[in-house]
Structure 1
Amino acid sequence: MDRLTLLTDRIREVLATLPTASEQWMPEAWKEMVNATALLALLSSVATVAPVVNMAVHRPDVSIAPSVLPPPGPSSQGEEIIRQFVNLSRSAEWRLVGKVKFEGDTFEPEGIVRLSDDRYFVSAVDDINRASGEGFAHMLVFDGKGSRIADATITEAGAAEYHVGGIDYDGTFIWATLAQYRPDSTATLARIRPDTLQPEPVLCIEDHMGAAVHDLSNGNILTLNWGSRRASVWNLSYKPAVPPACTAPRAVIKNPSHYTDYQDCKFLGHSQRYGFRPVMLCSGITNLYSTSIGGVALVDMESMIPLYEVPLTMVSDRGVLVTKNPMDVAIVDGRMRLFFLPDERNSTLYVYEPA
């Protein structure tokens, strides 16, 4: 299927250089296989696949992603992550176990996926002019020492939906939303191949959406709107509306918690501790009464009810709460670790575990 996509993309590029698309220019072998109308229909069927507009590979000597993609860390370790997380309290002490400077301009980081000790994928927004809706969405790849491996611009110049939100990895794709950089607008749910950084639009949404989370067991995709005040649920088993029409969510869930505006969330699986309900771990901040509050929460994906919340007060070297932007979680050497990338443009990865 991937080879077919590449072939049809190349044919579309050739068609664009021709004045008309008729059988006159088609090789005889093609005429025997398909007529021009069928070919154009095929091309139209893949026209919604957004190209990587610009890919800068900074480390051609290494692969962008492992040749064999690993399983999703948070969901494969979910029960142990939950067990350790619910033993925390607001008085818990945290130990900084790692600090990695990420090379180059990181724009405004929105989501992070730790694919392994040596691969970090970061969704980021280059917000050139928000008032006029001008900017670009990026997918950045770094190794474990912070060296920049690749930078893919995944939106075209002039695209209204250039705000890429929090991301989640399901073992095959990275899930993300591309939205207008304003509330009550529009968004596109997309999945991105880690090895090529090729985005594939899945459906159109009539609202701004940020974080995206994939429930591996039932095909549900949960997305959070501006400020995470509402969650919308989609299901991959149901055919979406044909673009440019937008798809109605199968459910909309009001967030009953006003403590933290979730920025980045990770699927932890259907937890035995919580009656096998789908659970995600989310982080973010809230600005209240001229004060910024940061926190991480276990959240029931069916009700958006926080199951367990922990405030975090750690700040970056630049004085920013570590929970401001992306977050990921993993069990490393038997201990839960949280990975944060709070600063914009010039980012450092902060790795914490409970002391």
Structure 2
Amino acid sequence: MDDQKLIARFRNLTRSTKWVLKNQIELQFNNHHSQGMVRIGDFFYMSSVELIEWPIRYDQSNQGYDRTPGKGIGHLFVFDGQGRLVKKTPLGEGDMYHPGGIDFDGTHIWVPVAEYRPHSQSIVYKIDPLTLKAEESFRVQDHIGGLVREGQNGKLIGNCWGSRRFYEWDSSGRQLLDKENTSHFIDYQDGHYVGDGKMIVSGISELVNPASKSKPYELGGLALIDLFTLETIHEIPITEFSPQGHVITRNPVFLEISGETIRLYAVPDDNHGSLLIYEAAI
């Protein structure tokens, strides 16, 4: 019932919708560079990358790569409604240390962990939310930046670096589809299955900022996508900003229905950021 409400109310969102900040909960741990998030009961599960060495761009392509792999550690954090870390587990292998957007199918949390560079490779994990035991499901020869588990037939939908392409796989990792993303509005950072063969994704587009040439303007956005056609049904811009000056859909975002409102949870800031809770009355 809430899924149908969320879809219906999402379709009524516009660029004029007023998002009201209801709460700002300081995280009591270093969240590093957070990526994806789901809420399960009273707890939040959030993927994150801890950067030890930033990738460095090559002067020219090197074996198909545009930058070094860098070094880092992938994490899945679990925290409560007061921002207290409950538990965590490392994710990844070798140069694959960058988790992406995540989804929960009622049994497992699905997390892609990729190299921190485009056109690379990824491991797709399914994780037991109670034990945090991570099981490798399959591998992909591309950077997968976000993953959604379709609830009707169990297929998985992923997007590449910059979300210019969608992929579909069955639960064993057999690729079913490789399709161009026809929307060029934002790059997707996180996404979740919301029922009725649809997903809601969130993200940003970094645009040239005439007021500050060195710092781009971050345009945020949300999109409702049909998982049978992978076409955008409805999308809206988001222009609310975090304490550190990032648009709130920069990385982890989770939406749900709360009474007569759509509630949005976000952690856009790196390193001891905040859980921001917004509501929009529709």
Q: TM-score, normalised by structure 2?
A: 0.89
Which residue, out of 213, 229, 253, partners 1:303?
229
**After the TM superposition, which residues 7-156 of structure 1 pair with which residues of structure 2 at under 5 Å, given as runs?**
77-116=2-41, 118-131=42-55, 132-155=69-92
Whether the 8 Å CA contact 1:260–1:284 is kept in 2: the answer is: yes
Distance in 2, Cα, partners of 1:323 & 1:329: 11
Which residue, out of 193, 196, 215, partners 1:267?
193
Distance in 2, Cα, partners of 1:303 & 1:323: 24
- Report the counterpart of residue 317 of structure 1 in structure 2: 243
Shift of 1:142: 0.6
- 1:86-107: CA deviations, max 9, x gaps? 1121111111122111111001
Letter in 1 for 2:245: G
Shift of 1:181: 0.6
Shift of 1:113: 0.8
Distance in 1, Cα, partners of 2:3 & 2:31: 29
Distance in 1, Cα, partners of 2:223 & 2:184: 12
- Report the counterpart of residue 40 of structure 1 in structure 2: none
Whose Rg is larger? 1
- Report the counterpart of residue 204 of structure 1 in structure 2: 139
Q: TM-score, normalised by structure 1?
A: 0.71
Letter in 2 for 1:147: R
Which residue, out of 252, 255, 261, partners 1:335?
261
- Report the counterpart of residue 193 of structure 1 in structure 2: 128
* Runs (5+) with no aligned partner, structure 1: 1-75, 241-246, 271-277
Count, aligned residues:
261
* Runs (5+) with no aligned partner, structure 2: 56-68, 210-216
Whether the 8 Å CA contact 2:71–2:95 is kept in 1: the answer is: yes
Whether the 8 Å CA contact 1:254–1:304 is kept in 2: the answer is: no
Letter in 1 for 2:254: D
The structure whose residues are more often strand, as a share, is 2
Q: Secondary structure at the match of 2:195?
A: strand
Distance in 1, Cα, partners of 2:21 & 2:187: 24
Is the counterpart of residue 349 in structure 1 residue 275 in structure 2?
A: yes
Shift of 1:253: 1.4
Whether the 8 Å CA contact 1:98–1:350 is kept in 2: the answer is: yes
- 1:298-334: CA deviations, max 9, x gaps? 1122333211111111001121100101010111224
Distance in 2, Cα, partners of 1:181 & 1:302: 29
If asked which structure has higher relative contact order (CA below 8 Å, sep 6+), I would say 2
Q: Secondary structure at the match of 1:162?
A: strand
Q: Secondary structure at the match of 1:120?
A: strand
Distance in 1, Cα, partners of 2:111 & 2:92: 13
Letter in 2 for 1:114: R
Is the counterpart of residue 294 in structure 1 residue 220 in structure 2?
A: yes
- Report the counterpart of residue 68 of structure 1 in structure 2: none
Q: Secondary structure at the match of 2:9?
A: helix
What RMSD, in angstroms, separates the aligned Cα atoms of the two structures? 1.4
Distance in 2, Cα, partners of 1:309 & 1:338: 15
Distance in 1, Cα, partners of 2:11 & 2:180: 24
- Report the counterpart of residue 212 of structure 2 in structure 1: none
Q: Secondary structure at the match of 1:224?
A: strand
- 1:192-220: CA deviations, max 9, x gaps? 11111111111110100011100121010
Whether the 8 Å CA contact 2:92–2:123 is kept in 1: the answer is: no
